[in-house]
Every structure is written in C-alpha cells, then in structure tokens.
C-alpha cells in the first residue's frame, strides 16, 4: 500500500520550531510519513539529527524532505561562486539525510526561487548548469541512500520546468539513478493538458507525488478527479508516497485515512 504523508506546513498553526513536536500530530491525523523542510537539517548537530531519526522511528513515521533554494544558492546560476555555494549547501543537506538513514529530497531546488526573470532568455544555459549540478549531487546522494526528486511548477511561479515532459527531459539529461521526478497535482492541473497521461509520461522516474486540489487546498475540497487518478496510478503500479501539501490550515479528523481510502 502507498504511504500517505503530509508536509510539515500543514501543521503550521501549531507552531513547528521543533519538528519532533509534529510527529504526534501527523500520527493523530493518520499519516505515516512526514515531509520536513530540508533547510532544518543545516543547523542541527549530529545529536539533533539522531534525535529526529529515533523519534520518527518511535512514532512509526517515515520521513521525507523538501527544498527550495534562493538566488544566493542557485544550482543553475551562471555565476560559479553562487552555484558552488548552492552545491555545498545541498550536499550538506544530503549528507545529513544520510546520517538519518536516507530518504528522498523533493522539490524545485534545481534553480532559484523566486525566479530571476531577467535570466529567462538564457534558459538553455541555466538548464545546462542545473543538469551538471544535479548530476554531481546525485553521485553523492546515491552513496547516502538519498533520492533527489525534482518538481516542475506552473508558469506563474517559474519559467524553468513547468510540465512532466519538461521534468522528464531534465532527468534524462542528468542521466543518473539518483535523480527522479516529483509531481504536484496543483501545478499539474494548471499546466498539463491531460493530467492522467502526465503521470504515465513520468513513468519509471516518478518517485513522489504531492497531492492537493485544483484550488491549492485539501484533497476533497476541490474538483480534481481522484478516482481516475487512483485508477491510473494503480495501472502504473505506482508504489511511491503521496504527500498531502495543501495551503489550507484546517485539518479534518482522520484526514490521512480519508486520503488513503481515496487513493490507495
């Protein structure tokens, strides 16, 4: 059965300075995976990392990690100092995930957020820089039992990778088993002419799916065809996680269980 997870921002209303405090919340709402911000790991000591790992195990909770990078850490930058700073930062996150037992690092961390719009005309050069960066990081990630999953986002948030087809082109250019695809149903609803076909297009490389409605809110509060999504994922034998990442703060009882019933 697919793991059903939730992103830590779902619990922002409770305060989340200490991620361990969210483990009980995730289990209360019947999730079996929590995705946490990878930047958290940069400031933690080895003991702090071990504590998170052990507490997650105590709660029978898997962990995954998400990441975006600002312009000063841009892995696609034409400025080598900026790119090297980004490489060093992501490498540290990867190695810390490795210390915690490995896992997946998901998100649009292949370029800068917010986008540097004046660079859109040089998208091809940025693409080459980013591919080189991810190939280098994937070599490290494999040794640490970490999988890097890159996420396309809609055109209103960035110009770099917008569709499953774009992500597939990127991952094939990286050409490394440590690099896969993470699709987000909110972005897919905006960009894909056929969402169901887009899942199949990602195919073998699809290792993570972030789920939320067409309005960015909780599953079940919008119009996305979840029964058809489940049918397509079943046909693909998709066994990766489904990470609930809505913008809405209100959490319904048994939320994870309800999502599991819809999509597992």
CB 136, CB 170: distance < 8 Å:
no
* Predicted pLDDT of residue 14: 54
Q: CA-CA distance, 121 to 101, in Å (whole number)?
A: 41
* Predicted pLDDT of residue 16: 60
The total number of residues shown for the chain amounts to 264
Q: What angle do CA 135, 138, 143 make, to 5 degrees?
A: 145
Q: CA-CA distance, 91 to 96, in Å (whole number)?
A: 9
* Predicted pLDDT of residue 125: 97
CB 199, CB 233: distance < 8 Å:
yes
What are φ and ψ of residue 69, in 5° steps?
-125, 135
Per-residue pLDDT of the chain (264 residues), as tens digits, is 799 999 999 987 655 678 999 999 999 999 999 999 999 999 999 999 999 999 999 999 999 999 999 999 999 999 999 999 999 999 999 999 999 999 999 999 999 999 999 999 999 999 999 999 999 999 999 999 999 999 999 999 999 999 999 999 999 999 999 999 999 999 999 999 999 999 999 999 999 999 999 999 999 999 999 999 999 999 999 999 999 999 867 888 889 999 999 999
Q: CA-CA distance, 158 to 108, in Å (whole number)?
A: 10
* Predicted pLDDT of residue 225: 96
Thinking of the domain 4-263, which architecture would CATH place it in? Alpha-Beta Barrel (3.20)
């Amino acid at each position: 059965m697919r793991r059903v997870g939730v992103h830590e921002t779902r619990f922002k209303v409770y305060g989340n300075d200490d991620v361990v405090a969210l483990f009980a919340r995730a289990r209360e709402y019947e999730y079996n995976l929590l995705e946490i911000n990878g930047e958290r790991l940069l400031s933690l000591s080895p003991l702090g990392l071990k504590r998170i790992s052990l507490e997650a195990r105590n709660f029978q909770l898997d962990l995954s990690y998400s990441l975006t990078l600002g312009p000063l850490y841009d892995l696609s930058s034409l400025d080598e100092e900026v790119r090297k700073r980004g490489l060093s930062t992501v490498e540290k996150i990867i190695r810390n995930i490795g210390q915690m037992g490995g896992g997946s690092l998901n998100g649009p961390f292949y370029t800068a957020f917010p986008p540097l719009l004046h660079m859109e005309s040089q998208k091809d050069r940025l693409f080459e820089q980013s591919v080189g960066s991810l190939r280098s990081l994937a070599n490290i990630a494999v040794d640490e039992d970490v999988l890097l999953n890159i996420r396309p986002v809609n055109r209103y948030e960035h110009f770099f990778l917008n569709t499953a087809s774009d992500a597939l082109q990127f991952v094939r250019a990286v050409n490394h088993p440590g690099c896969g695809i993470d699709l987000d149903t909110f972005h897919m609803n905006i960009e894909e002419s056929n969402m169901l076909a887009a899942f199949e297009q990602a195919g073998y490389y699809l290792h993570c799916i972030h789920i939320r409605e067409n309005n960015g809110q909780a599953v079940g509060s919008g119009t996305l065809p979840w029964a058809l999504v489940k049918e397509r994922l079943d046909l693909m034998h998709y066994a990766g996680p489904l990470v609930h990442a809505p913008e809405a703060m209100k959490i319904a009882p048994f939320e994870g269980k309800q999502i599991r019933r819809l999509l597992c």
